[in-house]
């Protein structure tokens, strides 16, 4: 059920042999994100449960889910980019059906993130699913 963008990331991960290269790739993905304007970095968009500062700005126009996000940590910006690849462009009513844990598991992220980063990633996924459910 993954998007083409997410499948591209999964394919790239298959070719990268060690985790240092994979982390670098995640960071590079984050560098490609458009920064979120300071006006959107407010308590309403802040994700609780993340050790880093994280903001997600969902959009459900036209019944299609997307979000923009930002963080003060480079690796977390990369994780936001991975989640954007997983969820952006998906019909709103299908967002809840995406098994993020399984999809991210395909990348090996479940086993290679610190406990704090894993908790933050779960918090981001929960916020995404909540935003889609409320749409």
Q: Which of 2, 47, 50, 85 is catalytic?
A: 50
Give the sign of the dihedral formed by CA 55, CA 27, CA 10, CA 105: negative
Q: Give the distance, in angstroms, between the CA of residue 58 and the centroid of all CA atoms in the same chain.
A: 12
Contact (Cβ atoms closer than 8 angstroms) between residue 31 and residue 70: no
Question: Six-digit token pair at 84?
Answer: 């954007």
Nearest alpha carbon to residue 51 among 129, 3, 122: 122
At residue 28, the pLDDT reads: 97
Q: What is the DSSP string of 107-130?
A: HTHHHHS-HHHHHHHHHHHHHHHH
Quick one: pLDDT at residue 1?
59
Q: Which CATH number fits domain 4-134: 3.40.50.10160, 3.40.640.10, 3.40.50.150, 3.90.1010.10?
A: 3.90.1010.10
Q: What does the pLDDT profile of the chain (135 residues) look like in tens digits?
A: 579 999 999 999 999 989 999 999 999 999 999 999 999 999 999 999 888 999 999 999 999 999 999 999 999 999 999 999 999 999 999 999 999 999 999 998 878 888 889 999 999 999 999 999 998
Instruction: State yes or no: is 50 an active-site residue.
Output: yes
- In angstroms, the first-to-last Cα distance of the chain is 21
CA–CA distance, 88 with 2 (Å, rounded to integer): 10
Report the distance separating Cα 41 and Cα 67, nearest Å. Answer: 14
Predicted confidence (pLDDT) per residue in 95-105, tens digit:
999 999 999 99
Domain residue ranges of the chain, discontinuous segments joined by +: 4-134
């Amino acid at each position: 059920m993954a998007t083409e963008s997410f499948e591209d990331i999964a394919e790239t991960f298959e070719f990268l042999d060690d985790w240092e290269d994979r982390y670098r790739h995640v960071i590079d993905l984050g560098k490609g994100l458009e920064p979120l304007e300071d006006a959107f970095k407010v308590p309403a968009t802040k994700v609780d449960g993340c050790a880093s500062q994280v903001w997600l700005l969902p959009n459900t126009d036209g019944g299609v889910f997307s979000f923009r996000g930002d963080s003060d940590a480079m690796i977390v910006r990369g994780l936001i980019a991975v989640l954007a690849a997983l969820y952006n462009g998906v019909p709103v009513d299908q967002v809840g059906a995406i098994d993020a844990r399984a999809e991210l598991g395909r990348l090996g992220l479940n086993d290679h993130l610190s406990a704090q980063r894993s908790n933050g990633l779960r918090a981001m996924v929960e916020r995404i699913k909540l935003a889609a459910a409320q749409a």
